Structure 1
Amino acid sequence: MKYQPCIDQCTSEGTHCEGCGRSHQEITDTKKLVTSVVDFIREHEYENPEEFVDRISKSILKKLQKPA
Structure 2
Amino acid sequence: MKFSPCTGDCTSNKKRCGGCGRSRDEITETQLITKQLVEHLVKYNYSDPENFLENVTKKAIKRSKNAEKK
Asked if 1:25 is matched to 2:25, the reply is yes
Q: Deviations over 1:9-65 (max 9, x none)?
A: 111222100001001111011001100011011111111101100110011111122
Whole-Å separation in 2 of the counterparts to 1:62 and 1:29: 20
**Structure with a larger share of its residues in helix:** 2
Runs of 4+ residues deviating >2 angstroms: none
Unaligned runs of 5+ residues in structure 2 are none
2:37 — aligned with what? 37
Q: 1:31 corresponds to which letter in structure 2?
A: Q
Alpha-carbon distance in structure 2 between the residues aligned to 1:53 and 1:38: 10
Identity %: 35
Aligned-residue Cα RMSD (Å) equals 1.0
Cα distance between partner residues in 1 of 2:12 and 2:24: 7
Q: Following the alignment from structure 1 to structure 2, what is the Cα–Cα distance between the partners of residues 20 and 65?
A: 25
TM-fit CA distance, 1:7:
1.1
